[in-house]
Amino acid sequence: MSEEFNKFKFRNEKVAKDIIEQLNNLELELSIMHVCGTHQDTLVKHGLEGMLRDVGIRILQGPGCPVCVTTPREVEEILALARNGITVTAFGDMIKVPGVNSSLYEARSQGADVRIVYSVDDAVDIADKIENDVVFMSVGFETTSPSTAAVIAKRPSENFSILPCNRVVPPALEAILSMGELKLDGLIEPGHVSTIIGTKPYEPLSERYHIPQVVAGFEPVDLLMAVLMIARQVKSGRAEVENEYTRVVKSEGNLKALELLDQVFVPVDVEWRGFPKIPGSGYKLKKEYGSYDARDRFPDILEPIADMEFHEPEGCLCGEVLRGLIDSRECPMFGTECTPMNPIGPCMVSSEGSCNIAFRYR
């Protein structure tokens, strides 16, 4: 399959139409979930959603945006650090995510030292240059977590720490399948996460839930081919993990990155926005690196927040969007009260959020 596929260009319209025709000939009605903002961008930008819907295939975006799945509690934690005089560093998307009363963006306009960084290395550079404590809000899936692990393994300046908000994808997939809110016929797995973890971590899901899974790249033909591979599995009664993105993803993943994750982090049970606690789906720094964990370092500021209850912004349906229960456009506030200029929830803030993507290409 892959050799034959690699001969084609990944944006070739004729190939795309041929795949759609093959899907049409299979005469299936399928619901398939992916968990990747870049996949969603490709699907919407190139009109693939509609082409697939016309041949009976519905594609849903699950919890595939790291900024969107960050919880209201984590937003309040980083805001509390900023309000207490700590220099806070975060990715650009993160600083506009609304908290209970404000965002990092607003905290900065009120005098807090909040800085946008493009990588964890930028945050370490800031810590090297100033005396104040610097906290990096470490948001991301397995794709970005290894670079944070690499920085911590080198033991940066003592005034540097991270607020671990990292997430691990396979346990979230298990949560979706075990909750049973949706009847899914297949999962498209994210190419860049799979570059790190490989294909093996998905195998227990296919065994336990008899669900076909395909790791996919990010071009239109990659995604269409992944859908066709899932459809062929359904038609033949198979439930396996296949790899459409063989030009990048190896079954064993990136061993060096996995070693780094294992050296620095320990898996913990964490909530995701819209989900209850998911076992083993987050990270905490190992004891020997504990001085770099903001939750261990600033307990007076952060421990009180651990016991508080938080809710979604009023009327925001990000939780339902992230669980694939509704399309962003079904939210009554989509494009009216909630826009990228005035976002109510994180799914409208982040360029990987499905509300933001739906708004940009509407």
Asked if 318 touches ligand SF4 (CB under 6 A), the answer is: yes
Contacts with ligand SF4 in 278-297 (CB under 6 A)?
A: none
Q: Is 333 in the site for ligand SF4 (CB under 6 A)?
A: yes
Structure tokens at 142: 């397995």
As measured in angstroms, the least distance from the Cβ of 360 to ligand SF4 is 13
Instruction: Report CA dihedral (273, 276, 281, 285) to the nearest 10 degrees.
Output: 80
Q: Which of 19, 211, 260, 316 binds ligand SF4 (CB under 6 A)?
A: 316
Residue 278 token pair: 């998911």
Least distance between ligand SF4 and beta carbon 195 (Å): 29
Best CA proximity match to 345, nearest among 42, 78, 67, 33: 67
Phi, psi of 233 (to 5 degrees): -65, -45
Q: Pick the stretch among 26-34, 109-117, 215-223, 329-337 that binds ligand SF4 (CB under 6 A).
A: 329-337
Does 355 bind ligand SF4 (CB under 6 A)? Our answer is yes
Among 66, 99, 186, 345, binds ligand SF4 (CB under 6 A): 345
Taking the least distance from each CB to ligand SF4, the nearer of 168 and 316 is: 316
Among 94-102, 107-115, 142-150, 333-341, which window interacts with ligand SF4 (CB under 6 A)?
A: 333-341
**Which residue lies nearer to ligand SF4 by CB, 76 or 121?**
76
Binding window for ligand SF4 (CB under 6 A); candidates: 40-48, 107-115, 233-241, 313-321? 313-321
The reply to whether 344 sits near ligand SF4 by the rule CB under 6 A is yes
Among positions 87, 206, 243, 328, the unique one binding ligand SF4 when judged by CB under 6 A: 328
Q: Which is nearer to ligand SF4, 148 or 328 (CB)?
A: 328
User: What is the pattern of x (binds ligand SF4, CB under 6 A) and - over residues 186-215?
Assistant: ------------------------------
The window from 128-136, 206-214, 230-238, 315-323 that contacts ligand SF4 (CB under 6 A) reads: 315-323
CA 204 to chain CA centroid, Å, is: 21
The rounded distance, in Å, linking the Cα atoms of 59 and 30 is 8
CA trace torsion 9, 217, 215, 324 (10° rounding): -120
- For residue 145, the number of C-alpha atoms closer than 13 Å in the C-beta half-sphere is 34
Which of 324, 334, 350, 357 contacts ligand SF4 by CB under 6 A? 334
What's the closest the beta carbon of residue 140 comes to ligand SF4, in angstroms? 20
One-letter identity of residue 48: L
Q: What is the DSSP string of 233-258?
A: HHHHT---EEES-TTT--TT--HHHH
Count the Cβ atoms, other than its own, within 10 Å of residue 208. Answer: 12
The Cα–Cα gap between 215 and 249 comes to: 8
Residues whose CB falls within 8 Å of the CB of residue 182, separated by 6 or more in sequence, listed in order: 31, 33, 60, 176, 323, 324, 325
317 binds ligand SF4 (CB under 6 A): yes
The whole-angstrom separation of Cα 109 and Cα 84 is 15
What 3-state DSSP class applies to 186?
strand
Of 348, 350, 352, 357, the residue at the interface with ligand SF4 (CB under 6 A) is 348
Query: Residue 155 is encoded by which pair of tokens?
Result: 């033991």
| Closer CB to ligand SF4, 107 or 355, in the complex | 355
Which spans of this chain sit near ligand SF4 (rule: CB under 6 A)? 316-318, 321, 328, 331, 333-334, 338, 344-345, 347-348, 355
